[in-house]
Structure formats: C-alpha cells, structure tokens
Structure 1
Amino acid sequence: MTKRDYYEILGVERTADDGVLKSSYRKLAMKYHPDRNPGDQEAEERFKEAAEAYGVLTDAQKRAAYDRYGHQGVSGMGGGTSSGFDPNQFTDLNDIFGDFFGDFFGGAKRGGGGSSRARRGEDLRYDLEIEFEDAVRGTSVDIQIPKLDLCTRCEGSGAEKEDGLTTCPSCRGRGEQLFQQGFMTIRRTCGTCNGRGQIIRRPCKECKGEGRIRSEKKLKVNIPAGVDTGTQLRLNSEGQASPNGGPNGDLYVVLSVKEHSVFERQDYDLHCTVPVNIAQATLGTEVEIPTFEGIESVKVPEGTQPGTQLRLKNRGVPRVNASGRGDLFIHVEVHIPTKLSREQRKVFEQLRETLPAPGEEDDKGGFFGKVKELFQ
C-alpha cells in the first residue's frame, strides 16, 4: 500500500518550521486520539499516521533524508517502523499536546516527586445591598466574610509536622502513574495521593487533615461612585485558600442598590417628577429641585404643558472609571384641582368664557370646528 506524503498528512508546506508542525499535529491528535474516538479503527490509524509524520519531520536528520529520497530515505532509521518512527518517544503527552491533554490525562506535571499542579482556591461571592445615595456618591463598607484559610499549624499539608506524611505506596512519591494505552505510554495523576506523592499518616490536630480551617475575615470594600445593581467588585486573593499550596481565589462583591423615593435611574441619567398647579404651568414659576450637589432652583416656563421635560446637564450619576456624568431630567406634572372654593370657581368660570377652546386660535376653528364641518 502506497504511503501518503508526510507533509500532506499534517497539512503543512514543505518549508514549515517545528512550531507549525507541532501546532498542526496537536490539532490532528486531538481530533483522532483513540480516547476521543473509542472503537473507531479509522481514527486510530489517522492518529498513528499523524504521529509517524510528526516524528520524522521534527527530526532534522530524518527530515533531510525524507526530503531527498522520500519514504525510502527514512526506512530503517531508528527501528520503530519502516520510517524510523518510534512510538515510545511520545510518553509525555503534555509536551506534545499542551494544556488540553495535560487536563485530559489527569493534569500531572513532569518529573514526579509530588509535583502536581497547584490548584487555585475557590472564588467567593458576597451580595451587598447599598443605599441609592451611596451608589451615586461612592462609599466604603466593612463586611464580614466566612471563608477557609490555610491552617497555620500544618501550613496547609493537613498532617502533623513530625512524621505526619509518608510516601505514597501507589506512585512511590512520583505523584503520577504510567499506563500503557495501545502503542503509547500515558501519564496520569495518582488517584491515591491526588498527585502529591505523599499521603497523610497523622492528620493535623487543628484542621483534622483538611489543610484549611473555617474563619471569618473583616474586609473594607471601597465602592466607587456610579455603581448600579449588578455591579461586581473583585477583591484579589480574598477568596478561599488553595488546598495544596496554590494561590487563593478571589472575592466578588455583587451590589444591589435600593430604590429612591424621588429619583429613578436610567443608565447614568436621573429622572424625577415635579408637580405644579395649573396657574403655575400657565403663568410660569420657579421650583426647587433636590440634586446630589444640593438644592437648585429651576425655571418652569410660561405655558408649560403636562409631560414637559426639563433637563439639568451633568446633574446625574458619575460614570464609573470615566470622566463626566449623566443628566437630570425633570418631568413636569400639571395638577388639575378636583375641588374648588366659591371664589376659585368664579375665576375659572370667567376664564372659560374668555379663553378660546384649544386650537380655535387657528383659521379652522380647532377640534370643535372640525367636528361641526363633518356633520354639516
């Protein structure tokens, strides 16, 4: 059977360097690896074919011979196959496949001796409710966090310092075990010691072998101006301690802002409703508006209609981690009286006689003029 060209198998140019070869081989290996295609004979053959091509083209001497003479040029060089490919050279999948197969086959690092990858501590979440004013202005809040800290007695090992640890009998202190899978040797984290290379013989009296103890920590959270409900503040390394010497997790403070009795927030803008009576809306007036910079006097123009919107620039919410702020929008609400005194009624009756109906100022006689035209 005629063998396929090695460059064609890896899908690379003949000028490809080792980095390109490795990247192409990694993709093919992840796609066709037997563990990902159990029982698929064709996938297994593709995997072997790609591994053979990679083994030849990453060896300078074999690649030169192959480029000059083809498959015949590498026949018998090294003894693994007719091309000289030796499957045993790929005992460490981490070196070839990177992080994907490092996790896929247990995540153990090379070299043994309890050198398992230090796992990062878990992240924590704390839900914090704050006042509307504090969200706009910014503030500092003290919180109390229940968490797991590193045990100081055993320094996180979970064992007494004197004769508390012993070499793992399964992996003999390497932290990993080797398994033969087809033509490949696979490294896998030791299941007995979880990659530590040691097991606890005498648990720590303080943490009972956990390596961490429960505690509460008081923290000050600085809340910047302009935050809103759903804002997350991250406190680096204030999460759970790592169970095996890795870095701490982070603490995420998730904010919830209470509603305000006067203002409603929309993004960085503030909205409020101001009531005026019919005379104030007709003749114009000035109203006092509370802002987060103090009381401000705002002019309501003569002839203001219900629903009119007035705007105060830069009186809204500060933008988080940016310059500037939103605006304050004032919605004018005209109140129509439901009860009138005798004197007030006389005034409105006089106005009714003297004021034109809405729209009668134009040539067509307004709304009622249009109605009359329809029925003539």
Structure 2
Amino acid sequence: MSQREWVEKDYYAELGVSKSATQDEIRKAYRKLARENHPDSNPGNTAAEEKFKRISEANDVIGDPAKRKEYDEFRAMVSSGGGFGGFRPGGAGGPGGATFTTGGADFDLGDLFGGAGGGAGGFSDLFGGLFNQARGGGGGAGRTQARRPRGGQDVETALTLTFREAALGETVQIKVSSASPCLTCHGSGARPGTSPKVCGTCHGAGVTQRTQGAFGFAEPCADCGGTGSTIDDPCPDCTGSGVTHRNRNVNVKVPAGVEDGQRIRVTGQGEAGFRGAPSGDLYVTVTVRKDEVFTRDGADLFVDLPVSYPELVRGAQVSVPTLTGRVTVKVPAGSRDGQILRVRGRGIARKSGTGDLKVTLRVATPPAGMAEAELAAYDDALRAAGYDPRADWAGSS
C-alpha cells in the first residue's frame, strides 16, 4: 500500500472507529467485521468479499502503530497543503483529481507521487529538483537517482484452521491464483536467449528531468516507461511484462497460538513485479473453528472436567486431555463444583511463553445429607453398574 493511495482512503471510517480510537478498539472492530464478512461465512457474496478486503487493508495500516502514525501524519500534511500554499481536492489530475497551489501555479499530485506509488516523481524527486535549482543545477539537470522497479501488489486470501492446528502451529499449503513470474523468461520479459537492454534515453535511471517555472521535476522516461530498460524481442508468453497469471501452491507457516481473525504475512508471495521487480506480499487471514473440548484465552487453555459427586468429595486421580496427550489431574478431596485446577505449562506455546491448562470441575450433585459410608456405598454402586461420568468424553473409556 503506497502513500499515494492514502490520500483517498479513510481507514478509520472503513473500520467504523474514530481517529482517536485505541489500538485495542481498532483490533476489536476489525475482528468483528472480519467475522461478519469472511468469505467462508458468505460464500458467493461478492460485496462481503470486497468489504473483507477493504477492512483487511485498513487493519494492515492503522492496526500497526508505526504505519498508523505515518498514515495520520501524511494525511494531516496533505489536508493542510503540506506547506505548499494550499490543497484543493477535485482538481484536474493526481490521485482523486487533487492539486497543490503554490505561487499562483497549480501542480498535480501525480507530479509529486509519480506513476508508480512512491518511485520517480515522488517527494524525493521534487525536493531534489528544487535543491538542484538552488545550487544552480540548470533547470533540474542535476543528479537523478535511478527509478526503483515497479513492485508487485499484495494479495489477500483466507485460511480456515481447526482449533488444534491454530494452537499447535504447522505449515499449511494453500493455492493462490495471481500474477506470478513468467516461467518461460523467468520474469525478465525478454525471449529466452535474449536480455533487456539499458534504455538509451535515461541510461537506466528510468526517469528524465523537466522544468516548470522555477522548479525542476523528475518524470518517468517516455521511451522505457520508467523501467530503465527496453526489450527488442519480448517473451511470447508474457509479451514482455515478465508476469503471467497462474495458480500456484504456497507454503504458509502458521505460528503456534495464531488467533481467529489474525493475519499472517508471507513475504514475497504476492503478485509478481514488472520485469523481475520484487513481488508483493501475501496476507492470509485466519479463521479458527471451535473445538468440542477446548476453549482458550490468550495462551491459556480451558476444559470442563466431568466428575461424580463421590470424586468431588473424596478426591480422585483423573485423566485429562491436553493438546499433545493426556495428563493425570488430582482432584483434591472436598473440591467444589466450578473449582478450577491449574496444570502449569500445558497451554499454548508462544514466543511470549507457554500458557497453562485450566480445568473446571463440573459435577451433578446427588441429594445432600449422605454420610461417608453412604457415599462409599453410592460410589461402589455406580462402579458396579458400570457408570462412568466421563463416558464418550474426549475419547475416554
């Protein structure tokens, strides 16, 4: 996501929060909207799918404190004119048709940002041109830095995991359909056996200089389209772009403890860049299915343990499931219904540490007033009858 696109997009409005919202409020708003608009919950609903993409994009920016600060400062600068004398939305050209006005002359935002989201023609080129003028650079004819290649766009997709897959983490292979490096020319754009040539007009910089009044500007080279190179014999499969659209399998490493609604970034697995430029990133939004046995809060796991009344009163050794096997839990004599027993280190293992397993005792209480002998007889009778309070529970027998 380039700063150029930030001019037009109100990510706070997209998530339905105020500009003063806390990061926790932004996170909660995103998760609520992600659940409501997730493609798995809205099969065939194009509007929900588009909404899901927009809120994911918004969360990627203002959900990250560093990006949010940059976003807020940038929009504040643009709305105030950025020190250029004024900003008018609705002008001719630029993102959303916006122009700056300085010294009575209009300058299109396209001149400020360039044609490729922060490459040549951006702020560095504008100020570089001004500094060249101040140094007597002859109409902006000073040094021009090489234009960075046009990188690929980011790609959004979704992944549904079981509770245990999300808790334990694993590598999952997903299918992605997007612009990918051409397999014939390996992304160069040139027919196999040939290579792109350095542009003779801009000498590989991808930009040329022009002047407008007292200012010097860098703009994309008209002969090479800002790439810095030309191709005499284009690849027949990608027609010189170095990119084709195809299905491919991507391995996504799911970290242990990933939560419902969380996004996983896979660097370099988005759309391929033009003629071998860096690819964008792949963002995978995770949906976690509910589990029949476990619930969680952060790194801690919770499980309800059925116990008989005699076990609750007299105490017992009971087998309890964990994510990686079973452990024996001691139910202390005189325990209460709803009491929580803690098994340390048997929760979810995350970078911040391993959580605990919290076992909640759940019991069906027989009539009160039974003496110890009657309790023993009651317990013996239940066992003789083959009664097991944990029958068919989490694989118990």
TM-score range, shorter chain: 0.5 to 0.7
Alignment partner for residue 346 of structure 2, among 305, 309, 315? 315
Aligned partners of 2:293, 2:196: CA distance in 1, in Å? Answer: 64
Alignment partner for residue 133 of structure 1, among 149, 161, 164? 164
Report the alpha carbon displacement of residue 264 of structure 1 after superposing the two structures with TM: 0.5
Aligned partners of 1:149, 1:256: CA distance in 2, in Å? Answer: 26
1:263 aligns with 2:310: no
> What SS is found at the alignment partner of 1:38?
strand
> Given residue 269 of structure 2, which amino acid in structure 1 is its aligned partner?
E
> Deviation per CA, 1:82-135, whole angstroms, max 9, x where unpaired?
xxx765556168x6xxxxxxxxxxxxx54xxxx532122222333222222223
1:223 aligns with 2:254: yes
CA contact (8 A) 2:141 2:209 kept: no
Q: 1:282 to 1:40 in 2, by over 3 A?
A: same
> Deviation per CA, 1:151-181, whole angstroms, max 9, x where unpaired?
3545546565899999999989974444332
CA contact (8 A) 2:84 2:102 kept: no
Identify the residue that residue 362 of structure 2 maps to in structure 1. 333
Q: 1:317 to 1:164 in 2, by over 3 A?
A: closer
> Given residue 157 of structure 2, which amino acid in structure 1 is its aligned partner?
Y
Aligned partners of 1:350, 1:140: CA distance in 2, in Å? Answer: 55
Report the alpha carbon displacement of residue 312 of structure 1 after superposing the two structures with TM: 1.0
> What SS is found at the alignment partner of 2:338?
coil
Alignment partner for residue 91 of structure 1, among 140, 150, 160? 140
1:281 aligns with 2:340: no
Any gaps of 5 or more consecutive residues in structure 2? 1-76, 88-99, 105-126, 372-397
Identify the residue that residue 45 of structure 1 maps to in structure 2. none
CA contact (8 A) 2:317 2:330 kept: yes
Q: How does 1:38-187 map to 2 (within 5 A)?
A: 38-40=101-103, 88-89=137-138, 91=140, 109-110=144-145, 116-154=147-185, 156=187, 158=189, 175-187=206-218
Report the alpha carbon displacement of residue 138 of structure 1 after superposing the two structures with TM: 3.1
Q: Which one has a bigger Cα radius of gyration?
A: 1
Aligned partners of 2:208, 2:302: CA distance in 1, in Å? Answer: 66
1:188 aligns with 2:237: no
CA contact (8 A) 1:88 1:185 kept: no
> What SS is found at the alignment partner of 1:117?
coil
Aligned partners of 2:171, 2:83: CA distance in 1, in Å? Answer: 55
> Given residue 312 of structure 1, which amino acid in structure 2 is its aligned partner?
V
> Given residue 340 of structure 2, which amino acid in structure 1 is its aligned partner?
Q
CA contact (8 A) 1:315 1:325 kept: yes
Q: 1:137 to 1:199 in 2, by over 3 A?
A: closer
Report the alpha carbon displacement of residue 212 of structure 1 after superposing the two structures with TM: 0.9
CA contact (8 A) 1:121 1:248 kept: yes
Identify the residue that residue 101 of structure 1 maps to in structure 2. none
> What SS is found at the alignment partner of 1:244?
helix
CA contact (8 A) 2:187 2:276 kept: yes
CA contact (8 A) 1:164 1:203 kept: no
Aligned partners of 2:327, 2:188: CA distance in 1, in Å? Answer: 63
> Given residue 225 of structure 1, which amino acid in structure 2 is its aligned partner?
A
Identify the residue that residue 44 of structure 1 maps to in structure 2. none
Q: 1:40 to 1:313 in 2, by over 3 A?
A: same
> What SS is found at the alignment partner of 1:195?
coil
With the length of structure 1 as denominator, give the TM-score of the two structures: 0.54
CA contact (8 A) 1:92 1:186 kept: no
Report the alpha carbon displacement of residue 136 of structure 1 after superposing the two structures with TM: 2.9
> Given residue 211 of structure 2, which amino acid in structure 1 is its aligned partner?
Q
Identify the residue that residue 95 of structure 2 maps to in structure 1. none
> Given residue 282 of structure 2, which amino acid in structure 1 is its aligned partner?
L
Aligned partners of 2:311, 2:184: CA distance in 1, in Å? Answer: 76
> Given residue 357 of structure 2, which amino acid in structure 1 is its aligned partner?
L
Aligned partners of 1:318, 1:174: CA distance in 2, in Å? Answer: 49
> Deviation per CA, 1:202-221, whole angstroms, max 9, x where unpaired?
76431245431122323333
CA contact (8 A) 1:119 1:245 kept: no
Q: 1:189 to 1:34 in 2, by over 3 A?
A: farther
> Given residue 140 of structure 2, which amino acid in structure 1 is its aligned partner?
T
Aligned partners of 2:233, 2:85: CA distance in 1, in Å? Answer: 42
> What SS is found at the alignment partner of 1:206?
coil
CA contact (8 A) 2:140 2:210 kept: no
Report the alpha carbon displacement of residue 349 of structure 1 after superposing the two structures with TM: 7.4
Aligned length: 258
Aligned partners of 1:326, 1:86: CA distance in 2, in Å? Answer: 62
> Given residue 331 of structure 1, which amino acid in structure 2 is its aligned partner?
T
> What SS is found at the alignment partner of 1:237?
coil
Aligned partners of 2:192, 2:318: CA distance in 1, in Å? Answer: 75
Q: 1:284 to 1:171 in 2, by over 3 A?
A: closer
Any gaps of 5 or more consecutive residues in structure 1? 1-26, 42-50, 59-79, 96-108, 338-346, 352-376
Identify the residue that residue 299 of structure 1 maps to in structure 2. 330
Over the matched positions of the two proteins, sequence identity in percent amounts to 30
> Deviation per CA, 1:49-86, whole angstroms, max 9, x where unpaired?
xx9xx98xx9xxxxxxxxxxxxxxxxxxxxx9xxxx76
Aligned partners of 2:162, 2:219: CA distance in 1, in Å? Answer: 52
CA contact (8 A) 2:86 2:102 kept: no
Report the alpha carbon displacement of residue 190 of structure 1 after superposing the two structures with TM: 3.7
> What SS is found at the alignment partner of 2:313?
helix
CA contact (8 A) 2:316 2:330 kept: yes
Report the alpha carbon displacement of residue 199 of structure 1 after superposing the two structures with TM: 6.9
